[in-house]
Structure formats: structure tokens, C-alpha cells
Amino acid sequence: MFVAPVIEEAKREYANAGLDCGDGLLPPADKGALDALSESLGMPLPRELCEVYLLHGGQVYIEPGITGLFGEHRLHTPEEVVERYRMFAEFSRPAACVSTGPG
């Protein structure tokens, strides 16, 4: 695993600097959650993303102004990614053309 040492080092460095960016990390995601995410997105997940989720399955909500482990954004759970993907897909569909008749 290449990702694990990098994440562990980042958490150590944040803690040594007195930052709480690594707080609220969740336990590992299970394989079923990763399979569901891959299926919902319609593509295989990158190996590195799977490695991240097998270390931490997400991060609790972070108040505005506080950074998460990955900078300004927290690590969303696989389920949250699916939810946001579906919301984005729903709102990004082109609107149906409605005919108002001869005009």
C-alpha cells in the first residue's frame, strides 16, 4: 500500500503542527460500500482511492473554516459520494424541450 504511509505521515505532521485536520476520521469502509460506489458511478474506482477508503471510510462533518485531512475538504464516505453524484446527475440532465405549439 502506497497511500497508507502518506496519510499516516500527514496526520503526524498535522498533529505536530498543532492542527486538528486529521480529527474525525472514520473507521475503514467495507468492501460492500466500495463495490456499491463503483457500481453507482459506473466505473471501477482508482486503486489509490480504494486504499484511502480501506484506511478511513470518511470523515465527520467539519465546520466551515476548519480544514480536513485533504485540505479545505473532508473525506466523504462512499455513501455520501453516491448521494452527491446522484444529486449532481439529476440536476445536470438537460431539460426536456417543451413544445408550445405553433407560434
Report domain extents, the chain.
3-88
**Is residue 37 pLDDT above 90, yes or no?**
yes
* Predicted pLDDT of residue 98: 56
Cα atoms in the 13 Å half-sphere on the side-chain side of 38 = 14
pLDDT bucket at 10, cuts 50 / 70 / 90: confident
What does pTM read for this prediction?
Answer: 0.77
Instruction: Report pLDDT digits (tens) over 60-93.
Output: 877 766 667 776 677 889 999 999 999 988 887 7
Cell numbers at 29, concatenated: 469502509
Burial string for 22-55 (b: 16+ CB within 10 Å, else e) reads bebbeeebeeebbebbbebeeeebeeebbbbbbb
* Distance of alpha carbon 96 from alpha carbon 76, whole angstroms: 32
Instruction: Report pLDDT digits (tens) over 42-65.
Output: 999 999 999 999 999 998 877 766
